[in-house]
Amino acid sequence: MDVAGRYFDGVRPVVQEVRLRRVAQGLEIALPDGRQPVLWLYGETRIDDVGVEAHLHRVREDLDTGERLIADGVVFREIFGSVLTQFGKGRAGEASRRRVMFWSLAAVGSLLFLYFVGLAAFARLAAPLVPWSWEVALGRSVEPQVLEIFSKGKPAKTCGTEGGAGKAALEAMVARLSAGAKLPGQLRVDILDVGVTNAFALPGARIYLFRPVIEKAQDPDEVAGVLAHEIGHVIHRDSMRALVHNGALSLIISAVLGDFTGSSTIAILTNMMVGSAFSRENESEADMVSVDLMRRAGADPRAINRFFQRLASVEPGKRTIFDAFSSHPITADRIAEVEKLAGAPASATPVLDARQWQALKTICAEPNPGG
Ligand SMILES: [Zn+2]
């Protein structure tokens, strides 16, 4: 006894009229024109549906072969009813088919995007689609290694104690700056006790200012200007954008979902993050946020320029200012742009009062039992 069916071989886009027959190992498909019949073993045959019609597909090594069969459901049940339990489980095949479909579509989509809008624009569009919880998880996984690299192998140490005056001043500064900011998540800011003038924003709204940023600043607004610039990177999710730009999207997904052993993935992501500076465009946009947040806070939006220009003059031994702030290359263009954005000088109130500023200035001298 056999039943008429429609068969897609998964290769050519044509339907073949076939006959299905039950054999000991599975289901035999008799092809037209007397060609060699095809045998689908029970274990590799998945039943998607047996209603009015029976829909089946074939899976090998848990991957969809693309082969499909459709037959009359009633006749199919008459023939195969007693052996239905021998067919493979539909769910697994369906999940794997969806996974293959998803990644194929994602790959094709990515290529089209790259072709039409370019890598930078792709990164700009894709980064916001990465769930925020992933970005937080990613930031947490790379943080210890990033800190170790910046601390040159020594144990990373942050300044200030919980409840201390220095931390309170820093928190006051963060609160005042972020009041008007559209942040994707909870901001966490710390001073890293390392003697290099730098600052960086890790994925997940995690900002570190290095000790010299506080030491070399002449007033709290200079620190705030740098901090506001970092907040700009957080708002634009620039670390995520940089990773996507560097082709790390699949690594991010494996790191977060733990698809394969994480340590090497984390190491690669860490190196990418530490080794590459943000693009000029990212820097300009972060400067724009800095000017905007400083102005909203009633502080001096030009303070960041004063800070950078002084860095250039106080570090004459360095080749250029770029070395001094390596994660955020400073250019004359950027300085000019901030000057323009800041507009006419207006009266400003420093983000911290004299007492708070003194506390922040000495935050790294506070005893820090926790390290
Ligand atoms: Zn920057």
Confidence of residue 369 (pLDDT cuts 50, 70, 90): low
Q: For residues 268 and 191, which has the higher predicted lDDT (pLDDT)?
A: 191
Amino acid at 239: S
Lowest mean pLDDT among 43-52, 272-281, 295-304: 272-281
Centroid of ligand 1 to alpha carbon of 284 (angstroms)? 8
Centroid of ligand 1 to alpha carbon of 276 (angstroms)? 11
CA distance 111 to 118: 10
CA distances from 63 to 45, 48, 55, 96, 182 (A): 11, 15, 17, 6, 44
Element at 105 (helix H, strand E): helix 90-126
Centroid of ligand 1 to alpha carbon of 107 (angstroms)? 31
Element at 69 (helix H, strand E): strand 63-72
| CA–CA–CA angle 363, 365, 367 (5° rounding) | 95
Across residues 4-23, what is the average pLDDT? 86
Centroid of ligand 1 to alpha carbon of 20 (angstroms)? 66
- The CATH number of domain 2-88, selected from 2.30.29.30, 2.40.50.140, 3.40.630.30, 3.40.50.300: 2.30.29.30
Centroid of ligand 1 to alpha carbon of 170 (angstroms)? 20
Centroid of ligand 1 to alpha carbon of 230 (angstroms)? 6
The tens digit of pLDDT for each residue in 317-352 reads: 544 444 446 666 677 788 889 999 998 888 889 999
Domain ranges of the chain: 2-88, 130-365
Q: 74 pLDDT exceeds 80?
A: yes
Query: Model's pTM, two decimal places?
Result: 0.65
Query: What percentage of the chain has pLDDT greater than the value 70?
Result: 84
* 26-30 and 16-22 strand pairing: antiparallel
CA distance 314 to 321: 10
Across residues 151-168, what is the average pLDDT? 90
pLDDT of residue 270: 81
Averaged confidence pLDDT in the chain: 83
Q: 236 pLDDT exceeds 70?
A: yes
